[in-house]
């Protein structure tokens, strides 16, 4: 029987993410009224902002009509407009809760949020029952579905009306037992730029994870037509944009400028539009070059950008584009070292070959290893703190490039005094091509990422491991 005047409340169930809502129903002699779906109020109680795109109604004439158990790759908001049902939900997702069961009755004063991959079924307990549900994706023949037999002995649903006395389809009766069900896999993560330094670090971080895909530009060009149809994007939880144009000096040339804007700004805008349209989280990696380096204090996430050169300008534009995706993490980093040619390997090679380098001493920051960026990305995606911009570099003291070079020499068994500190102007005085302006101070504040539960490793510790052959290389 419908309850009138209840307070809007949310109650967790025995299945993770399956939440029952009590809905206020206002009635008098004329009938009743309820807010069946009210985004602001319901998300305020913790309901995911799941973005419904379709509303369906199933009308059932007779008592005992029984439907399910179907698990689809989308979320549902289930309620009853008229009548009453006995609902049964079975977790058919991969993971430790696979096979968990929850049952309850629904009338117009109750609704339930059914997360992706949880099997949904019901039996009508009153005639003329109108069962209604919102979903956040359209049916597709390419989607992955799972089904469970209504009479499965393992889950042992206590149907109020025996199944041999109800109206039920032959198809539902023929569904497999729990032991033969194909579990619904988690939503996928797509890593772009999979052949770059950060892409390789993400491959190592997610090694063995079946739900993570890796794509190079040859696999998926975000600037090509037809991006929206290149994947079934609702099957993805996140896109990690590890691709970028990083040739800082070449970006100052006409050709480099075009390529940098295409990759770092236009490409990111395309990804942000895709993420917004399909409810996907966009992870975008940015740079200290969005700042002019005039501050002696570490830059916070909320400070205004002021890029000096083309590369920094395109990265700042990419940040603005990425921020248009409702679910986004923008990771600003600096002085990146990974698996491939980089400053640390160059210094180690010079030390081994007996070459004494001049190294810039008036640019200051911290090294960031791609293994740390990959670890931080995984942390954000798994713990889901507030969306927005996060700085992520190595922790520790702020030093110059010359200081880093001297430490590389010393760590590899060479005399650090062989490194000669010079000014930026002196270092580039004999350069023949265009030289991009560099920020003199690149240190980024790390309090926000720490508050989100991630502790960056000290860059000196990571550098020593990176240079020690007996340790696993950091990438």
What is the pLDDT, as a whole number, of residue 406?
A: 97
What residues contact residue 155 under an 8 Å CB cut-off, 6+ apart? 90, 99, 101, 148, 178
Specify the pLDDT at position 460. 97
pTM of the model: 0.87
160: nearest Cα among 62, 21, 63, 82:
63
Residues sharing a CB contact under 8 Å with residue 201, sequence separation 6 or more, in sequence order: 338, 339, 370, 371, 373, 374, 475
Q: Are residue 192 and residue 176 in the same domain, yes or no? A: no
CATH number of the domain bearing residue 143: 2.60.120.10
Q: Of 180, 199, 225, which closes a domain?
A: 180
> Does one domain contain both 268 and 308?
yes
Single out the residue in 134, 149, 180 at which a domain terminates: 180
User: Given 70, 145, 211, 387, which residue is catalytic?
Assistant: 70
pLDDT of residue 2: 60
Q: Strand 388-391 to strand 328-333: parallel, antiparallel, or no bridges (unpaired)?
A: parallel
Domain of 282 in residue numbering reads as 188-467
User: What does the pLDDT average to over 15-42?
Assistant: 92
Looking at the predicted structure, is the pLDDT value of residue 471 above 50?
A: no
Instruction: Note whether 248 and 382 are same-domain residues.
Output: yes
Q: Based on the domain organization, do 172 and 239 belong to the same domain?
A: no
130 has pLDDT over 60: yes
Domain closes at, from 148, 180, 212:
180
Q: Is residue 4 part of a domain?
A: no
What pLDDT is stored for residue 223 in this prediction? 79
Let me know if residue 474 belongs to a domain: no
pLDDT bin (cut points 50, 70, 90) of residue 472 is very low
Q: Residue 113: inside a domain, yes or no?
A: yes
* pLDDT (tens digit per residue) in 415-456: 999 999 999 999 999 888 899 999 999 999 999 999 999 999
Are residue 142 and residue 201 in the same domain, yes or no? no
- Range 215-224 average pLDDT: 88
Residues 195 and 167 in one domain: no
pLDDT band per the 50, 70, 90 thresholds, residue 325: very high
Q: Is the pLDDT of residue 107 over 70?
A: yes
pLDDT average, residue stretch 39-47: 92
Query: Are residues 122 and 207 part of one domain?
Result: no
In a domain, 354, yes or no: yes
Q: Are residues 79 and 192 in the same domain?
A: no
What CATH number should be reported for the domain holding residue 318? 3.40.50.720
Residues 284, 404, single domain; the answer is yes
User: What average pLDDT does this structure show over 388-403?
Assistant: 97
- Between 6 and 168, whose confidence is greater? 168
Q: pLDDT tens, 264-316? A: 999 999 999 999 999 999 999 999 999 999 999 999 999 999 999 999 999 99
315-to-159, 172, 196, 274, 364 alpha-carbon distances in Å: 58, 53, 17, 19, 20
Contact 285, 233 (CB under 8 A): no
Same domain, 244 and 140: no
Question: In this structure, is residue 49 part of a structural domain?
Answer: yes
**Where residue 474 falls among pLDDT bands split at 50, 70, 90?**
very low
Domain assignment present for residue 472? The answer is no
pLDDT category of residue 5 using cuts at 50, 70 and 90 = low
Distance in angstroms (rounded) separating the CA atoms of residues 12 and 288: 43
pLDDT of residue 227: 86
- 411 and 439 share one domain: yes
pLDDT of residue 1: 54
Catalytic one of 122, 131, 133, 390: 133
Average pLDDT, the chain: 93
In-domain check, residue 56: yes
**Catalytic site includes residue 70:** yes
Q: What is the mean pLDDT of residues 339-350?
A: 94
Ranked by mean pLDDT, the top range of 135-144, 167-176, 226-235, 297-306 is: 297-306
- Find the mean pLDDT for residues 102-119: 96
Instruction: Please give the backbone phi and psi of residue 399, each rounded to the nearest 5 degrees, phi first.
Output: -135, 180
Helix orientation angle between 254-261 and 310-322, rounded to the nearest 10 degrees: 10
- 206 is a catalytic site residue: no
Both 193 and 170 in one domain: the answer is no
Q: Which residue has the higher pLDDT, 474 or 398?
A: 398
Instruction: Indicate whether 80 belongs to any domain.
Output: yes
Number of domains in the chain: 2
């Amino acid at each position: 029987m419908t309850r009138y005047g209840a307070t809007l409340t949310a109650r967790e169930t025995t299945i993770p993410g399956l939440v029952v809502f009590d809905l206020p129903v206002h009635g008098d002699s004329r009938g009743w009224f309820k807010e069946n779906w009210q985004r602001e109020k319901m998300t305020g109680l913790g309901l995911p902002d799941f973005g419904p795109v379709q509303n369906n109604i199933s009308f059932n004439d007779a008592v005992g009509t029984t439907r399910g158990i179907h698990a689809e790759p989308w979320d549902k908001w289930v309620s009853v407009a008229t009548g009453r049902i006995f609902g049964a939900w079975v977790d058919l997702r991969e993971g430790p809760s696979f096979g968990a069961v929850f049952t309850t009755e629904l009338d117009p004063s109750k609704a339930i949020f059914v997360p992706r991959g949880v099997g949904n079924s019901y039996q009508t307990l009153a005639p003329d029952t109108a069962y209604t549900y919102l979903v956040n994706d359209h049916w597709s023949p390419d989607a992955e579905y799972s089904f469970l037999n209504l009479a499965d002995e393992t889950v042992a649903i206590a149907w109020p009306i025996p199944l041999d006395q109800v109206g039920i389809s032959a198809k539902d009766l023929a569904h497999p037992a729990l032991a033969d069900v194909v579990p619904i896999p988690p939503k996928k993560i797509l890593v772009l730029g999979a052949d770059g330094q950060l892409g390789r670090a993400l491959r190592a971080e997610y090694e063995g994870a079946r739900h993570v895909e890796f794509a190079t530009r040859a696999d998926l060009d975000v600037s090509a037509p037809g991006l929206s149809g290149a994947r079934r994007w609702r099957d993805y939880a996140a896109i990690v944009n590890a691709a970028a144009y990083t040739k800082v000096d070449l970006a100052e040339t006409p050709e480099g400028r075009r390529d940098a804007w295409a990759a770092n700004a236009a490409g990111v805008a395309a990804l942000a539009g895709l993420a917004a349209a399909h409810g996907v989280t966009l992870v975008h990696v940015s740079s200290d070059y969005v700042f002019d380096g005039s501050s002696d204090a570490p830059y916070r996430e909320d400070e205004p950008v002021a890029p000096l050169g083309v590369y920094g300008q395109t990265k700042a534009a990419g940040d603005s584009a990425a921020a248009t995706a409702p679910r986004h993490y923008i990771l600003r980093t600096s002085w990146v070292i990974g698996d491939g040619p980089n400053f640390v390997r160059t210094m180690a090679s010079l030390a081994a070959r007996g070459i004494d380098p001049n190294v810039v001493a008036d640019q200051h920051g911290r090294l960031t290893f791609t293994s740390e960026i990959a670890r931080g990305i995984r942390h954000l995606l798994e713990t889901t703190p507030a969306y927005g911009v996060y700085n992520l570099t190595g922790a520790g003291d702020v030093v110059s490039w010359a200081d880093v070079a001297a430490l590389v020499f010393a760590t590899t068994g060479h005399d650090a005094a062989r490194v000669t500190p010079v000014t930026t102007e002196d270092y580039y005085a004999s350069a023949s091509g265009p030289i991009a302006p560099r920020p003199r101070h690149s240190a980024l504040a790390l309090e926000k990422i720490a508050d989100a539960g991630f502790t960056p490793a000290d860059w000196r510790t990571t550098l020593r491991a990176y240079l020690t052959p007996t340790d696993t290389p950091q990438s």
